[in-house]
Structure 1
Amino acid sequence: MSAPRGKSARFFAHTPHINKIFTLSLLAITVHLFIYLPSAHAAGSNTTATSETQQDVVVYGAPADNSVDKTKQDYQVKTTRAGTKLLLTPRDVPQSLSVITQQRMQDQQLQTINDVLNTTTGITSERDDSERAYYYSRGFKLNNFTYDGIPTSMGDAWNYGDTASDTAIYDRIEVVRGATGLMTGAGSPAASVNMVRKHADSKTATGSLNASYGSWNKQRYVADLSTPLNQSGSLRGRVIAGYQNQDSWLDRYTKNTKFLYGTIDADLSERTTLSLAYDYQDADTSNPTWGGNPVFYRNGTLTHYRRSLNSSANWTYYHTTVRKLYADLVHHFDNGWSTHLNGTHAENTFSDKLLYVGYLSMPDRDSGEGTNGFGSEDSGKRELTSVDGYASGPFALFGRQHQLMLGVNYSRQHNATDSSNGTTSADGSEIASSDIGIFNNHWNGNIAQPNWGDWYQNANDIIRQKSAYTAARFSLTDPLALIVGARYTQYRSNGSSGDMEKNNLMPYAGVVYDLNDTWSAYASYTSIFQPQTYRDSTGRYLSPITGKSYETGLKSAWDDGRLTATFAIFRIEQNNVGQEQDGVYVNNSSEQAYVATKGARSKGAEFEVNGAFTDNLQMTFGATRYVATDSTGRYSSNQPQTVFKLFSRYQLPTLPELTIGGGITWQNRVFWDVSTPDGSTQRVYRSSYPLANLFTRYQINKQVAVQANINNLFDRTYYTYRNNDVYGEPRNVSVNLSYQF
């Protein structure tokens, strides 16, 4: 259940020159990086053979020397299917792409998808409370999440389940920015996040054990064990299990999570592999917040509560459970073609009891009295069943080699949520202020449970998508390649939000021109759509919201693709967004009528360099600057429009057992217009802020290593939500001991 929105915000000092200063600094850093990047010795775009799942397949632009694995600690990957499902090098994908590898996740201790997104180039976030977060790219909300390329529709009720997933089970996380309709079908034009899970790929017994302890009594234990299950190693198993227990900088908050992932990979023949997997994740939270602390006192002045103040009651909780089954079948043919058949069944459930403080009335400044609240008891279940199959490989035409991919996808998703309101007031609309008592820095959450009303249905919808998609890469000349594709989707929803059926064709086009062995110029057009249940005055459903991305830029690769750089200029459009028509109703009924608008525009530039500068130095640096507007002015003004993120690791040549590193993120100020307690509207600002972190690792011997991480090094106080006082994490420390065998 979404938190009530309304009268709360924080005013910060205006710093009018910071954006100009940062822009000049960013330009200087970009020029410096381009000047001092290593000399070019990347492979060109000739067709060569590489390895995917231990089989030979055709890869365009892949490095010739793939036999020596010197990339185990890299922040970059050699090949990816992100963006098009064609197996390409990152340089040959005509769209902005970031890949977060296992090494990067280990160095930064990125333990959830939420952690990963907060460190990814071009992604910003807004944390509503202790459990929920929303993500944005280039000004648009991100709701496209895929697992091994299989899309999931994520509504607001589920924004904790997908991004709270533990990264220990994933090989890497791929983020493609801009519209991604070719890969995901329905969704927003922000970006797409693909989680690539680990496989049982070792023919010898191996594994790792990790134990860590950190601030707020955070304990974490993870075991990752692989072994062959027969003498030849054609049948292999892998188990990853973890447990985590933690308190928080918030008073009374505790959280326990556990997960279990098991997979069996079987080589049915030399060219056919079957993979079966099961994923279970469970989280229990006591005293979670719903929203944050009130921002205004009743007289309109700003509150100044301590960071550790928890607005929840002692009877509140969150419980989430995720269960997933996977099945993959891959076959490689002698002619370079391969077929992939994936199936997934996932069940997400949640239940909670929550308290929102300051629902309609703010506290008195002196006494802390007069604050009301709202209670909610909720439960929900999401079931997703999806099957995806595609074939890809080379073909010859006009004396040149090209690449083709064809696929089909079917998914059925059932979303059901129910709620019960907790109230004590006479009209049943709130928890009366007399029950809340005094809300101040000494609040301890010790209040009685409210009267819980009858359960009612929030949503009960079934969404079906049937898609057929294709993409082809044409080698027009040695330096010039054209990628074209399309996805046709039949979208149907039935249930509480109305019965609707929409069909949509989403085209994809990209061109890549190799300027030399290192640099390529590219341009692309992609699209996406999102059906909506609003209707116009005649009763017709509005056309789907459409998103379009236009992007052009430069890409480069050094050292056989171990280091890449991208400079992109983009424009994103979102059209047909439904807006209310004042005083107009559907067919003269009580249903509000809507009209489609031209929507929003976002345009800007993005830069990322990622990978191995030397064998000892890994670094990722990303910077984004955009301007987003709609018919009323600035669009998504609560999201920063200038962001940079830097992180690096350095292994000392004179003491190779020691690795040091760290990074910094910075974002510019944001603003929004809010209603104050007296009913007036005030534009408030949240100032820019940097966050710094450090880490060091010492390899005691071949098997044992110890690592320490410090986050928010300078203990910067900052807010993560526009409508409440929801603080970001204070400075925190963790120490990790790992054993590899």
Structure 2
Amino acid sequence: MTSPLFKLSALYIATAAIFSVNAFAFEDEKEIEKIQVLGNKHSNYLAVESETATKLGISIKETPQTVRVVTRALMDDFSLDDVNQVLETTPGVSVEKIETDRTYYKARGFDILNFQVDGLGLPQDQGALQGTLDTAIYQRIEVAMGANGIMTGAGNPSATVNFIRKRPTTDFRADVSFTTGSWSNKRLEGDVSGSITDNISARTVVVKQKRDSYLDRYAVDRDVFYGIAEFSLTDSTTLTTSLTYQSNDADSPLWGALALFDSKGNPTNYDVSTSTAADWAYWNNTSEQAFVELEQLIGSNWSVVARYAHTQNEQDSNLFYVYGTPDAETGEGLKGWASDYQLRDRINLFDIYARGSFELFGQEHQVAFGASEADMFYRDRSLYDNTSGNGYPKVPNLNGWKGNAPIPVLKDITPGSEGSDVNSEQSSQYISARFSLTEDLKFLTGLRHTKWETEGLSYGNNKGRKESDTTSHFGLVYSLNDKVNLYTSHTETFAPQSENDLTGRQLAPIEGDTQELGIKAELFDAKLMLNVALFQAEQSNIAVADVANSTPNNTVHKAAPGIESKGYEIELSGDLGYGFSANLGYTNTDIDVSDTINAGNVEAQLVKNYTPKQVFKLAVKHDVATVKGLSFGMNMRWQDDISRIQNQQPLIVTKQGAYAVVNFMASYDINEQVNITFNANNVFDKKYLNSLYWAQGYYGAPRNFAVTLNWSL
């Protein structure tokens, strides 16, 4: 069977042709220095620059918005090999693992819909990650909290996640690591970078991983390839091109999860390893990305950047969903539901912008302006077995079940109604500027106009919609001194919706905004960064069912005031001194849902209960002064109790009490080239539900271990 790696489109083949002259890169070498290095290569938990909130090239301290960064050093220390692990470590972000291969992310009470690669926004209207995104290709992962309509257009007032990829180095470097761990985990990773000629530098990252799981029957086979090349065409012109391929093939994945209450309304208590997946089920995800960037410097203060990105994702799966309420005595009463699901989605995105600085009234000011065009489509298909009798079998007590469900005959018996064919276009124009009102007072402002058009059907429902909206941001930053900045900001975003009101008119977009007030301080000679923020985020104009004017055959909608969250966040990152590096954060969020939403939108009213009010996260590492090359650390997260109302009459509530997951690490440099790292995760073997985002759920991983041998040249 031919590997999917070789099933590339003409675009990928053309990109690979560029690689034939030894090319792999993305952004210029000077960008690498934007992360301040503290001590040795493993001590860098502090980042000082970010491109997630603006295109102005200003520091995190000068940005009037909370920006979190998980650096490469932190990822390496605690073996954070996938995005879920990274975002679980990121203060202010909730990772909602609803299934083994589908995950949602939340911040400040709202789903995260905005994702970027190297600051280039990838438009989408749902935030679920399908499969697992490997982190080997990323130098750091940034999260800008709050609404971010300037950089990404449509979205929620939650956060924007920006994946900053590794870039070539001028000096030759090679890193190889091998990991072995619990549940037959085997991972091999290679990273090679350097100059090919005086004008060409390149980098390649490859990963091969195979592992079983604590969940019965679940196993994953993962492949990653990343190539990036940078061409210095002239002293002022740089061409960058790259190709990324990731595949995640899962055997016996969860589709849905465990029933959380029995026939008497009591909570179920399955073994942590219990799975509802059939032994024949699989879920294969493949992602391919090609990027091309051309940067032209104009004088000493200006540059123009044009970028093109092509992203394509494919899914092939045979899945088994278990539903129903188990009998309190026998554990029986569940049924299965088999499906064949296929998906292909694609994004073509072109973005061009100019940025630079100018002097006016004796002060220097920055401005960036540009435009982007995106063309998107997705096509999917769901097949079921409604003929053989194997499509909806009875499922015995899950305790002891081996996944031996009958094999269904999956086919389309109603052509055209069991899938989607949807096309979308997004066009945006934007401008952002920072004006120096005085030496100490900076004013940031910007506008983005976005036009979004969608047409097509999804499972018989018309997804057609046309929207346009203008979002803005405003911010003030006041420098008390060289070390401390005070700031305030107002940011906006919007989300298109396709529901119609009583008159048949499409409802206006959902409106979202964030107000933030905070302080950022550099401590201990700028080795440590403190960020304290007060925030208020609101989303309004949300579609809810207009029950009074709906009929059994026609549901109409009306706009509701929406959801409001407010709270405060504290983050401290960098070098604590005495050999300690840390990244810690505390978030306190209070969510309020309007009465109209409570009456007409079941999922919205549940947000308050399944979102933890308090979350504390800490990653800390200590370099032992008395033993050269030895370090140890702890990565932990604690969250408040959460719940989900499962039924009103009689009242059934699923609860997950407050809990902490604690991970330890120890690392030793055998010599300058060889390092060994030991990781122990969930060391206190805490049993907990991953999420109450959905009515079902499954348990987090129990205690597990991994050992990684690293070789560097």
Compute the TM-score of the two structures, normalised by the length of structure 2. 0.90
Which residue, out of 159, 183, 193, partners 2:151? Answer: 183
Is the 8 Å Cα contact of residues 425 and 431 (structure 1) preserved in structure 2?
no
Counterpart in 1 of 2:638? 666
Matched with 2:318 is: 353
Q: CA deviation at 1:446?
A: 1.0
Given the alignment of the two structures, is residue 443 of structure 1 paired with residue 401 of structure 2, yes or no? yes
Rounded Cα–Cα distance in structure 2 between residues aligned with 1:280 and 1:620 = 31
> 1:488 aligned to 428, 442, 449, which one?
449
Contact 2:112-2:127 within 8 A present in 1 as well: no
Select which of 226, 237, 243 maps to 1:272. 237
Distance 1:372 1:71, change over 3 A: closer
Report the counterpart of residue 161 of structure 2 in structure 1: 193
Counterpart of 1:470 in structure 2 is 431
Q: Give the corresponding residue for 1:219.
A: 186
Offset, 1:616: 2.6
Deviations 1:438-491 (A, max 9, x none): 223110011212342416443221121111111111111111111111111111
For 1:422, the equivalent position in structure 2 comes to: 385
The residue identity in structure 1 corresponding to 2:591 is: A
| Matched-pair contact (CA < 8 Å) for 1:169–1:198 | yes
Q: Tell me, yes or no, if structure 1 residue 611 matches structure 2 residue 574.
A: yes
- Give per-residue Cα distances to partners, 1:143-177, cap 9 Å, x unaligned: 1111122222345595215xx22111111111001
Following the alignment from structure 1 to structure 2, what is the Cα–Cα distance between the partners of residues 369 and 604? 44
Partner Cα separation in structure 2 for residue 567 and residue 687 of structure 1: 27
Q: Which residue number in structure 2 is paired with residue 288 of structure 1?
A: 253
Q: Which has the higher contact order (CA 8 A, sep 6+)?
A: 1
- Give secondary structure in 2 for the equivalent of 1:452: coil
Single out whichever of 693-702 and 682-691 deviates more from structure 2: 682-691
Structure 2 match to 1:707? 677
Question: What is the CA–CA distance in structure 1 between the aligned matches of 2:30 and 2:137, rounded to whole Å?
Answer: 23
Question: What is the aligned partner in structure 2 of residue 543 from structure 1?
Answer: 508
Question: Displacement of 1:559 after TM fit?
Answer: 5.1
Q: 1:381 aligns with which of 334, 344, 361?
A: 344
CA contact (8 A) 1:125 1:136 kept: yes
How far 1:70 sits from its partner (Å)? 7.3
Superposition pairs for residues 88-487 of structure 1, below 5 Å? 88-156=58-126, 159-161=129-131, 164-200=132-168, 202-230=169-197, 232=198, 234-357=199-322, 359=323, 361-423=324-386, 431-433=392-394, 436=395, 438-454=396-412, 456-487=417-448
Shift, 1:54, TM fit: 4.5
For the Cα contact (< 8 Å) 1:228–1:235, is it kept in 2?
yes
Output the amino acid matched with 2:654: V
Q: State which drifts further: 520-529 or 651-660.
A: 651-660
Give the 3-state SS of the residue equivalent to 1:109 in structure 2.
coil
The change in CA–CA distance for 1:218 and 1:154 in structure 2 (over 3 A counts) is farther
Mapped partners of 1:91, 1:562: distance in 2: 13
Give the C-alpha shift of residue 297 in structure 1: 2.8
Q: Which runs of at least 4 in structure 1 moved beyond 6 Å after TM superposition?
A: 66-72
Following the alignment from structure 1 to structure 2, what is the Cα–Cα distance between the partners of residues 204 and 489?
42
1:666–1:688 Cα contact (<8 Å) kept:
yes
> Is the CA contact (8 Å cut-off) linking 2:309 and 2:349 kept in structure 1?
yes
Matched letter for residue 147 of structure 1: V
Q: How far is 1:102 from its partner?
A: 0.6
Aligned equivalent of 2:19: none
1:525 alignment partner, one of 479, 485, 490: 490
Report if the CA contact (8 A) 1:715-1:731 is conserved.
yes
Stretches of structure 1 that go unaligned for 5 or more consecutive residues are 1-51
Q: Which amino acid aligns with 1:174?
A: E
Deviates more, 1:631-640 or 1:692-701: 631-640
Give the alignment's TM-score, normalised by structure 1: 0.86
What are the Cα deviations for residues 417-444 of structure 1, in whole angstroms up to 9, with x where unaligned?
A: 1101235798x9x6142xx3x2231100
Paired residue secondary structure (2:77): helix
Give a deviation string over 1:550-609, Cα, whole Å, max 9, x none. Answer: 000111113564321110000001001000011524xx8943110000001101000101
Distance 2:418 2:570 in 1: 46
Alpha-carbon distance in structure 1 between the residues aligned to 2:624 and 2:55: 38
Unpaired stretches in structure 2, ≥5 consecutive residues:
1-26, 599-604
State the one-letter code of the partner of 1:276. T
| 1:77-88 equivalent positions in 2, closer than 5 A | 77-88=47-58
Cα separation, 2, equivalents of 1:245 and 1:674: 37
* Mean Cα deviation higher: 281-290 or 632-641: 632-641
Question: 2:5 maps to what in 1?
Answer: none
Q: How far apart, in 2, do the equivalents of 1:589 and 1:296 lie?
A: 30
Distance, in Å, in 1 between the alignment partners of 2:675 and 2:115 is 34
- After superposition, the Cα gap between the structure-2 partners of 1:477 and 1:155, relative to the gap in structure 1 and judged at 3 Å, is closer
Closer/same/farther in 2, CA of residues 662 and 55 from structure 1, 3 Å limit? closer
> Does the 8 Å contact 1:71/1:562 carry over to 2?
no
Which residue number corresponds to residue 622 of structure 1? 585
Q: Give distance in 1, aligned partners of 2:191 and 2:268.
A: 47
Match of 2:534 among 540, 554, 569: 569
CA RMSD of aligned residues (A): 2.3
Question: For 1:665 and 1:217, how far apart are their aligned partners in 2?
Answer: 26
Q: Secondary structure at the match of 2:99?
A: coil
Question: Is the CA contact (8 Å cut-off) linking 1:181 and 1:527 kept in structure 2?
Answer: yes
How much has 1:209 moved relative to structure 2? 0.2
**Cα 1:390–1:157, aligned 2, differ >3 Å: closer, same or farther?**
closer
Using a 3 Å threshold, how does the CA distance of structure 1 residues 525 and 303 change in structure 2: closer, same or farther? same
CA distance in 2, matches of 1:56, 1:368: 58
Matching residue of 1:24: none
In 2: Cα distance, 1:214 partner to 1:72 partner: 22
Pairing partner for 2:614 from 642, 651, 668: 642
AA partner of residue 527 (structure 2): R
Q: Is the 8 A contact 1:425 1:432 kept in 2?
A: no
Inter-partner Cα distance in structure 2 for 1:296 and 1:472 = 54
CA-to-aligned-CA distance 1:390-430 (integer Å, 9 cap, x gap): 1111101111111111111111111111101235798x9x6
Aligned residues, how many?
A: 669
| Farther-moved stretch of structure 1 (152-161 vs 723-732) | 152-161
- SS of the residue 1:183 aligns to: helix
Summarize deviations over 1:16-73 as a string: whole Å, max 9, x none: xxxxxxxxxxxxxxxxxxxxxxxxxxxxxxxxxxxx934699x9xx99xx89997873
Tell me the secondary structure at the aligned position of residue 483 of structure 1.
strand
CA-CA distance at 1:656 after TM superposition: 2.7
Q: After the TM superposition, which of the residue ranges 297-306 and 87-96 deviates more from structure 2?
A: 297-306
CA distance in 2, matches of 1:688, 1:363: 26
Bigger mean CA offset, 78-87 vs 696-705: 78-87
What corresponds to 2:22 in structure 1? none
Output the CA distance in 2 between the equivalents of 1:396 and 1:323: 43
- Shift of residue 524 of structure 1? 0.2
2:151 partner SS: helix
Tell me, in whole angstroms, the C-alpha distance in 1 between the residues paired with 2:703 and 2:94. Answer: 20
Change (3 A) 1:564 1:208: same
Quick check: 177-186 or 613-622, which moved more?
Answer: 613-622
Amino acid aligned to 1:495: G
